[in-house]
Amino acid sequence: MADLFGEAPPERERPAQAESLDSATRPLADRLRPQSLADVVGQDHLTGPDGVLTRMLQSGSLGSVIFWGPPGTGKTTVARLMARDVEFAFEQISAIFSGVADLKKVFEAARLRRPAGRRTLLFVDEIHRFNRAQQDSFLPVMEDGTVVLVGATTENPSFELNAALLSRARVLSFHPHDAASLSKLLDRAEAIEGRSLPVSEEARAVLLRMADGDGRAILTLAEEVWRAAKAGEIFDAEGVQRIVQRRAPVYDKSQDGHYNLISALHKSVRGSDPDAALYYLCRMLDAGEEPLYLGRRLVRMAVEDIGLADPNALVVANAAKDAYDYLGSPEGELALAQATVYLAAAPKSNAVYKAFKAAMRTAKENGSLLPPRHILNAPTKLMKGEGYGAGYRYDHDEPDAFSGQDYFPTELGRQSFYRPTEFGMERRIAERMENWERLRREREGR
């Protein structure tokens, strides 16, 4: 038997005495283990009446799949139920503890079953932990039908798994549990325990948030509350937090959690929502993100999304980064919060960002063109004889301090990269540029 959400030994290695454990001593997650796909909570898009896996099993054509999703969403349980429904032998290994030798044993056992007409479903937990060569070892046995592979990973398969493996398996996403599905699990726990969870409504909501989308976690938290409660005691929100302490947020600073939240922070700033931006900043700080990394990203936001609409944004972002570097945590985090709110509330423009990309593209595409000779220095007689510097007009001595000369290479012609917006400081910049363009046309016509 497996627990509701986590890893369990393969069936052939499961100790027989485990079946005789008194139900009161078994973990709650194990006692609430689903007995059919229909019992699985929170994954209706996969296991509901019209779910992808339900249709796949009904069709009788079971192919290799990769289960991608956070911990505690039922990946192991669903794999076992699939094997039972199609009457496949179920083999389970973990990439953390297994190597090529273990895989060869599993593949050989699967080959020996085939003459008897029995196929094998191989469940590989943490499949992303296998290196590229180990992942390649699955390809022949998947192609010849020796095994149907069900791999489970918490990491993005696009980054962690071989393209050859992905081309032979369908990726199915498991969603984090929402409050409704976590609450449903609590209801089932209360039914099997024959008693209500001794918490107030507010405390129950706190427990749901602490679970952070993890079904196993909510049941573990519930067990802790039941163990701690005295007869007739009802815990409020503060009491629950004191008993169960605090569960760290699900966040991997080098993987999806990191990239998802920094993306949310950046887009909230770009979308001029100071409250959302501040929330995501605090989410990342609370999860242990390096504050100086956040400071550097704020600087990037200032130049990419605000630019010259508010040139002071870059000054504020840099100052916040330096303030944190000087003060450290927790005092310096307030400077990052101040910069986040300032950037989110500032007028927005990506005109310089777009102009830079366009100018860089033009520079790369047109090679080493010589600037026009009238703006080249002529420190030698030879260079003067070649016309270097001839005809250059010193702008400060021109009417309106503007000569209107062309500074682009002759072969390239005049280009237009920067187009200021009407927001913030750029409105004034646009007015100056329009005036210069008018003067340029006048001087060209004289």
Same domain, 15 and 123: yes
CA angle centred on 255, ends 254 and 258, rounded to 5°: 80
- For residue 249, being part of any structural domain is answered with no
Decide if pLDDT at 10 tops 50.
Answer: no
| Domain assignment of residue 130, given as a range | 11-173
* Position with higher pLDDT, 407 vs 301: 301
Token reading at 216? 């196993």
Alpha-carbon span 19 to 441, nearest angstrom: 90
pTM of the full predicted structure?
Answer: 0.64
- For residue 1, being part of any structural domain is answered with no
Split at pLDDT 50, 70, 90, the class of 15 is very low
- When divided into structural domains, the chain yields a total of 4
Q: What is the CATH number of the domain that holds 168?
A: 3.40.50.300
pLDDT value for 166: 92
Token reading at 429? 């910049």
The residue-averaged pLDDT of 55-66 equals 88
Q: What is the CATH number of the domain that holds 410?
A: 1.10.3710.10
pLDDT value for 369: 87
Same domain, 291 and 424: no
Residues in a beta bridge with 171: 66
Same domain, 183 and 169: no
Decide if pLDDT at 302 tops 80.
Answer: yes
Query: Tens digit of pLDDT for each residue in 160-191?
Result: 899 999 999 999 999 999 989 999 999 999 99
Q: How far apart are the first and last CA of the chain?
A: 91
- For residue 383, being part of any structural domain is answered with yes
Same domain, 337 and 408: no
Strand, coil or helix: 171: strand
Query: Tens digit of pLDDT for each residue in 357-416?
Result: 999 999 988 888 889 988 888 888 888 888 888 889 899 998 999 988 888 998 898 899
